[in-house]
Amino acid sequence: MSWTNLGKRLDAAIDAKLRRLCGVLNNQVRIVRLSGDSAPVITGERGGHFTKGGVRINNPSAYSRKGFSNMFYCSDSRVITVGTNFRVQ
């Protein structure tokens, strides 16, 4: 294993711990590092399928029949901001 791959694996492990600390299970949530030692903060809205009335749809395949769909997809806009000197235990 090269040192580059080892560094990438360690960074991925730290990112996973930060996501768990914020209560996020999705690996697609971006992590932005700022200067300082601030604790991780999550901002933004969780994405998914919604009806036009704003109700979350947990099973979008139930709305897949032609002519029946009143759903739309809203992308995930969550971002975790954390200080570069913050240490994850």
Query: Is residue 88 assigned to a domain?
Result: no
- Cα dihedral 3→9→10→12 (10° resolution): 150
Q: Whole-number mean pLDDT of the chain?
A: 86
Query: Is residue 15 assigned to a domain?
Result: yes
pTM score: 0.75
Tens digits of residue pLDDT in 54-72: 888 888 887 767 666 778 8
Name, in order, each residue with C-beta under 8 angstroms of 74's C-beta and a sequence gap of 6 or more.
45, 47, 48, 49, 50
For residue 82, pLDDT over 90 is answered with yes
Query: Is residue 47 assigned to a domain?
Result: yes
Domain that holds residue 7: 3-83
Tens digits of residue pLDDT in 21-39: 999 887 888 999 999 999 9
| Residue located via tokens 């930060």 | 18
pLDDT at 60: 82
pLDDT at 27: 82
Domain count, the chain: 1
